[in-house]
Structure 1
């Protein structure tokens, strides 16, 4: 199986996302002799971390590994402050490098550290989760969480490169891998229906990157290509890029209400069903496309419902969503398969009715 590359356009020459076996060898391209490299890594990947440090050292770089908490706990201002302190202690300059090794939360944090240190140093992402490679590591969005919401503090800072070996995904649990598939399926709904067809034809194979590595690479590269096409046209999320937030307004509300104990992809899955219900009630999509949401998400074990009795909290959380404008809620919806659009200011009765349909 060969490495597949997706180019993401943007300022300057853009950057490449390399997916396939052996891509770690390309890390040496970013490791000049004497270059300091902060390796921000999550726990549990010691073997891969060792390989990263070996390659950096062999290229003459000076790696500085720093462990951060797992998952969303990494995206905390106290963790961020510790990393800034370490950069200062090690004397990092604008010629040095940050590497993010881990899942989406780790790459979000590493990207924000790189964006803010000396107003910007290079970052290379090595995502080790499906969610990380198809969503967090691509596109240049970085961020941390606050008590008031998820990713409310962040910056746009495209990486120098993204490298992902499908073997790195093999350690994921089945529920975590399914959670990442939610972002893959999102790309299918908004832009590339072939993704939906591939998963619908073999949902269990789509869940197993070890047994079906070729399918994993196909789904990953198709998803990355969808994101690359959108990001190249809209680096700073002014309009077009909002389509990548399909299902995310409701999803972020669920995550906040649940104190970030829900997997992101699980929340996105329910969020996609929620906006599909909104769109169906507006007559934008038919019953078949609404049902397809539930069918394909359920086929890979993703939730399509959320507990009743939480509407006041969810409605309040949605009001703080980044896509809101003043008191007006804005949702990405579909007007048909692979035809995303924006729905602004739906009525309170509509919002509640869609919630009741997923509760």
Structure 2
């Protein structure tokens, strides 16, 4: 088991990367001095694979477990779903020492975390991510929330988990499209912070399916990505400055997601599109070389992720949607733009005509 410690002023917690770790969840949680009540939140697909094993692990460690499955999909990441969790928490008399455990991808993690953050003004929360995307990104750092029809994650709270348990073996049952979506976030870490990770992935012939990654490369991807996220969050827990670099590719990506109703492209696909756009903006503004953009484009294509805008979206609609992004400050849209592989800059000085030009090219 490889453990990364995320140290924050108010709380520290472990990110445990452990093959077969789901069977050890109860044991790991028993050392955290939590109450005995647990509400396990998942979706039907993930629960069918791993729910009973998780419940057995928790019960063997002395926890009193109830479970609830929310529907699967970004379109269900709403306040209506959160209300269902509140109702279940009320029915099961969840007290302040209780813990909500999220077993699933980023959608389940975000919703469970938000419910935990707001039930009784905050109860314990544990993340057990089951997608590559949630393992390397969504489960770490305490961002929780739900979508508003006008934008992604506009309603939310920071609520750090007590533990993040990553079991790489669960990726064997992950659909190929969801695996590719996670690779978008891994590429993001390479561009913003880890040129060596980026180069490692360039050496791999195929990155579009779990089976093409060696155990060593998968371990490097998980450890390096989680370490990068932990390092950034430990320096800037609530996105006052540095943490904004984690939004590389997300500015335009979030607009693409919301404008397609969270049904046409998934989060990772949208981020891939957003990274292509951000890279081209950086080239046009003279911030990085076309050769670096070509490397990024080639790596994204190697993962089987999209590099073009969906035909259903109008460019003006994307530009308008950017104004509702939660990263807008004083009416200016902030972009994370690369200057070289492994280094990015934060700017709100991107002319709208440049945005239009890049989007038209895509």
TM-score with structure 1 length normalisation? 0.95
Task: Specify the SS of the correspondent of 2:206.
Answer: helix
- Counterpart of 1:44 in 2: which secondary structure? helix
Structure 1 partner of 2:45: 44
Worse-superposed segment, 72-81 or 240-249? 72-81
Match of 2:18 among 5, 17, 20: 20
Shift of 1:58: 1.2
Matched with 2:114 is 112
Find 2:90's aligned residue among 88, 91, 96.
88
Q: CA deviation at 1:203?
A: 4.1
Question: Which residue in the other structure is 1:278 paired with?
Answer: 281
Match of 1:97 in 2: 99
Superposed, 1:252-331 pairs within 5 Å as 252-261=254-263, 262-307=265-310, 310-331=314-335
- 1:3-14 correspondence runs (5 A): 3-14=1-12
For 1:293 and 1:47, how far apart are their aligned partners in 2?
35
Q: CA offset at residue 206 of structure 1? A: 6.9
List alignment gaps of at least 5 residues for structure 1: none
How far 1:34 sits from its partner (Å)? Answer: 6.8
Q: Which residue matches 1:345?
A: 349
Residue 327 of structure 1: CA displacement?
2.0
The structure-2 alpha-carbon separation of the partners of 1:319 and 1:64, relative to structure 1 and needing over 3 Å to count, comes to same
Secondary structure of 1:332's counterpart equals strand
**Which residue of structure 1 aligns with residue 233 of structure 2?**
231
Question: Where do 1:164-175 residues align within 5 Å?
Answer: 164-175=166-177
After TM superposition, what 4+ stretches of structure 1 lie above 3 angstroms from structure 2? 31-34
Whole-angstrom CA distance in 1 between matches of 2:346 and 2:146: 26
CA 1:47–1:334 in 2, change beyond 3 Å: closer, same or farther?
closer
Shift of 1:57: 1.2
Aligned length: 356
CA–CA distance in 1 between the matches of 2:204 and 2:215? Answer: 13
Deviations 1:303-355 (A, max 9, x none): 11114561111111111111111321110111222221112132221111111
Match of 1:194 in 2: 196
Aligned with 1:78 (options 80, 94, 100):
80
In the alignment, the residues of structure 2 paired with residue 15 and residue 195 of structure 1 have an alpha-carbon distance, to the nearest angstrom, of: 25
| 3-state DSSP of counterpart to 1:335 | strand
The farther-off stretch of 303-312 and 149-158 is 303-312
Any unmatched runs of 5+ in structure 2? Answer: none
CA RMSD of aligned residues (A): 1.7
Query: Helix, strand or coil for the counterpart of 2:347?
Result: strand
Structure 1 residue 134: deviation in Å? 0.8
Deviation at residue 205 of structure 1 after TM alignment: 5.6
Change (3 A) 1:267 1:36: same
TM-score (norm 2): 0.94
Instruction: Specify the alignment match of 2:28 in structure 1.
Output: 29
